[in-house]
Structure 1
Amino acid sequence: MEIFERVRQISLINTTASTLSWDQETYLPSKSADYRARQLSYLAAHAHTLSTSPGYLADLKKAEDENDGSDPTVTANLRELRRESDRSIKIPTDLVARESAAQSAAHHAWIAARKAADYSIFQPHLQNLLDFALEKAELWGYTNEPYDALLEGYERATSTATIAALFDDLLKDLAPLATQAVNKTKALSPRLPAGPYPISQQQAFNAIVAEKIGFDFDAGRIDTTTHPFCTTLGPCDIRLTTRYEESDFTSSLFGVMHEAGHGMYEQGLPADDFGLPSGAAVSLGIHESQSRLWENQVGRSPEFWDHFYPIAQEHFPQLKDFPLEKFLQFIHRAELSPIRVEADEATYDLHIILRFQMERMLLNKEITVAQVPEKWSELFQKSFGFAPENDAVGCLQDIHWSMGGIGYFPTYTLGNINAAQLFHAATSDPVIGKATNSADYAPLLTWLRENVHNHGATHNPATLVEMATGSAPTTEHYLKHLSARYI
């Protein structure tokens, strides 16, 4: 179909932009930032122009008219392309170009602000990006509040009200569970043997683990950056990044396992359909389920460490006299940390709920951009019992707002919920359960390929979870997992 060829051509532009963005995050010289912003702005505008052109819309309409419904994948692709097109044509190309340039400028301002722990450096950029978000929300339209329009771009077929109700329900059990987990940790006071844990040894160990769980290094690699992420530059080019602390090798390790989970999802999508919805991830909530499943359900399990702890001891000699039981206490510790990406499972979602509240208040104009640090500290004090010591470990810690990613954060908690439900369903199969208990992860990955990855974006996220597990998404398995591990 002509429309599919057009979509593949647009994908070439988007993945070229992804390559430049990856370079911007990893190796770009600081003096090149302005020109890189122009490059990314040009590519974003060009891709948007092509996807909203009369020729594109005519080919899409022709394909829809000629589709006889005999191929469900073709039907799903056309349905999703129409959904994307209906959103795209509402956004002027000039807005896309201006927003892309603003995002590049905001990214570099965020880096400087975070380094200086000075929110005022980033404030005007956040205001600019918030204005773009509100403008797009009005152009897209929404039923109840602007957040609905933005959320649709990350987690389709849901609503802000649905997410808020789910989070309220989760919080009722999560808040006391987190308190108990933190108190248990205080009683045990687990500590990792003192470093240094050399970065070269961390890199070697991380690569062993990533390959063992299924990440294909012939179709990807790991690099270093300020904020860990995974990005797709092509059907066989998945880039993972992490950061290192010589005092704690588990920080980079779990970062790699998390990003490898994202990467294995991308590597498991139908390569022949790359660029089409059937060859794309369905949502960030499902994407996050893959990363959290490998990081937490697998990576923090006793069964995993029964196999990998002797290997870790070979790489880090200070672990040789440190019992596995003590190490498990360390990685299962629950602490009230100001940093989301370093938070444990028991307290992580408190961070997400705070960000969800902040974004809704900003979009609903209940607070101003200037009030962000003050409101952040207030909400953090309420949830965690203390306020962040500065902006760098408070409202400036995450990269998402500098990328224009307002509406993104709820997908992390959706990912946690989905991960627990998918893992429970997979390991309920005796063969998969036995293999996973022996640190053989090929059967688990095969199950995820068949039940999640191979479907691409041909089903709505909640439908995909129900097809894979037999029930709609629920907090039941997630809360049971947290309780079993931390209480």
Structure 2
Amino acid sequence: MKIDDLLRAYKPVWAIDHARALAEWDLEVNMPTEGASARGEALAHLTLIRREYLLRLKDLVEKFEGSGDLNDVEKGVIRVLKRELKYYTSIPPEILEELDRTTTKAAVVWREARRESNFEKFKPYLTKIVELERVIADKLGYEGHPYNALLDLYEEGFTVNDADEVFNKLLPNLKSILDKIRSEGRYPDKHPLEDVAYDVNVMKAVNEELLKILEMPVGTRFRMDVSAHPFTIGMSVNDVRITTRYEGKDFRATMFSVIHESGHAMYELMIDPNLEMTPVGRGVSMGVHESQSRFWENVIGRSREFVHIIYPLLRERLPFLKDYGEEDVYKYFNIVRPSLIRVDADEVTYNFHIALRYEIEKGLIAGKLDVSDLPSLWDDFMDRYLGVRPKNDAEGVLQDIHWSQGSFGYFPTYTLGNVIAGMIYAKLPELRDKVAGRRFSEIKEFLRDKVCRYGAIYSPKELLMRSFNDAYNPDYLLNYLREKYLG
């Protein structure tokens, strides 16, 4: 490559990212709670070291940017590094250090506050995080709304105007679909299996079998553990890890978190190995990443074809299913109802949960909302969008880990993931036949060819236009939902 000098100089940055990923995975999976302070210091200093090494690349980036005649990979490397350099040159290091220290402690406090359903315990940390995120938005600069600066960190080029356009199209149409589903009664709004307890060890065995069905490379390039909030993290193209959680009842929750996180992991595992240790050897954006997880979780995992495959396994391992047939399990997996918890929400109502968080984040960053008002604001939004109100903070404002991590601008990418998953459903030939025939390798090959192998070579919108000739178009998702639930 013409930019080999730049890629060699980037290796220490990649190594720091690798070390940080391992430390962050350990924080969620293994670390005792009293280790939070030291881990925060370590992560803060790693961030400063990373910044120092990245800034050393500035002259090389400028040199190659102006050299011309770069191939697509090289152009992608320059684009990604320019974005990172903008971040580090715009934001003072003491702000980044303070954010790392605050969020590391906040993640631990959030777990305690959620367990106790006590927003007051978490409020000082969230207040500080919001203050820091406002500073970061100002330092990065923006046109229009200050939230645009944060949206762009997770979905390059995505703005409040784009998000408003997506939600303004989705919400009224989703409300119409939801009303029709509930009036026709073909899909239940509750199911007895939701209240049935399961043996955690048995369910762990079921999840391990699911990973085999999905052909995940367990033990060689992939592993699964347990954490308070399910997540995926990639150390490298040959070391990708997911977690799930076990709440003791309603077995579909842990099962679908495994399928969801496996979708994220597949993305990381199918990035072109030649991009390893380069700035483009990663997923292009959170929206595109989420499209992979939501596609596997919902379009495949909740389909009749997939239920037909896994029903014998479930019936064999879970004794309480002796009284439930395959159609019962399919309906249990596809309950449709307004509910309180985002991660358990069905396909039809899920995006209302994201719209709520989007409106709150937009207001917080603009300074129009106050952290102290969030519990009541949250409850009011839930009532307005879905007609339900949380009974406590754990069911409401404390249910997600993201704000404790400083991830403002992240939530809208969940809806983008659903939108893109709908597009993949429309574009992937003979999908139902492929699922029914367990031809998952063919599905993966399509996703590898259209999305995964490119890493971050192209911006998200450019990638989608190149592969699908469309981008953030909600019509595909709405058509999929109408076909499935109303067809």
Q: State the distance in 2 between where 1:185 and 1:391 align.
A: 33
Q: State the distance in 1 between where 2:301 and 2:187 align.
A: 23
**Matched residue, 1:377:** 379
TM-align CA RMSD: 1.7
Question: Do 1:222 and 1:242's aligned partners in 2 also have CA atoms closer than 8 Å?
Answer: yes
Aligned counterpart for 1:12 among listed residues 15, 39, 47: 15
**Matched residue, 1:321:** 323
**Matched residue, 1:129:** 129
Question: Do 1:106 and 1:403's aligned partners in 2 also have CA atoms closer than 8 Å?
Answer: yes
Mapping 1:297-312, distance limit 5 Å: 297-312=299-314
Percent identity, aligned pairs only, is 31
Cα drift, residue 83 of structure 1: 2.5
Cα drift, residue 256 of structure 1: 0.3
**Matched residue, 1:465:** 464
Question: Do 2:181 and 2:485's aligned partners in 1 also have CA atoms closer than 8 Å?
Answer: yes
Question: Do 1:242 and 1:255's aligned partners in 2 also have CA atoms closer than 8 Å?
Answer: yes
**Matched residue, 2:212:** 211
Quick check: 468-477 or 161-170, which moved more? 468-477
The TM-score, its normalising length taken from structure 2, stands at 0.95
**Matched residue, 2:152:** 152
Cα drift, residue 75 of structure 1: 2.0
Letter in 2 for 1:141: G
**Matched residue, 1:436:** 435
Distance 1:464 1:334, change over 3 A: same
Question: Do 2:305 and 2:432's aligned partners in 1 also have CA atoms closer than 8 Å?
Answer: no
The TM-score, its normalising length taken from structure 1, stands at 0.95
Structure 1 runs (4+) greater than 4 angstroms displaced? 185-189
Structure 1 position 227 matched with structure 2 position 234:
no
Aligned counterpart for 2:255 among listed residues 253, 256, 269: 253
Letter in 2 for 1:215: M
Letter in 2 for 1:136: I
**Matched residue, 1:23:** 26
- Cα displacement string for residues 162-192 of structure 1 (whole angstroms, at most 9, x for unaligned residues): 1111101111101122233345278675322
Letter in 2 for 1:78: I
Partner SS, residue 42 of structure 2? helix
Distance 1:186 1:205, change over 3 A: closer
Structure 2 alignment gaps of length 5 or more: none
**Matched residue, 2:271:** 269
Quick check: 144-153 or 92-101, which moved more? 92-101
**Matched residue, 2:484:** 485
Question: Do 2:383 and 2:389's aligned partners in 1 also have CA atoms closer than 8 Å?
Answer: yes
Cα drift, residue 51 of structure 1: 1.1
**Matched residue, 2:44:** 41
Mapping 1:62-77, distance limit 5 Å: 62-69=63-70, 71-77=71-77
Q: State the distance in 2 between where 1:371 and 1:195 align.
A: 36
Structure 1 position 288 matched with structure 2 position 286:
no
Quick check: 294-303 or 190-199, which moved more? 190-199
Structure 1 alignment gaps of length 5 or more: none
- Cα displacement string for residues 116-174 of structure 1 (whole angstroms, at most 9, x for unaligned residues): 11111111111111111111111111111111000000000121111111101111101
Cα drift, residue 49 of structure 1: 1.8
- Cα displacement string for residues 320-359 of structure 1 (whole angstroms, at most 9, x for unaligned residues): 3311111111111112211101111111111000000000
Cα drift, residue 381 of structure 1: 1.3
**Matched residue, 2:59:** 58
Distance 1:337 1:62, change over 3 A: same
Partner SS, residue 131 of structure 1? helix
Partner SS, residue 89 of structure 1? helix
Distance 1:237 1:89, change over 3 A: same
| Residues paired across the two proteins, number | 481
Distance 1:194 1:353, change over 3 A: closer
Partner SS, residue 348 of structure 2? helix
Letter in 1 for 2:457: T
Distance 1:46 1:310, change over 3 A: same
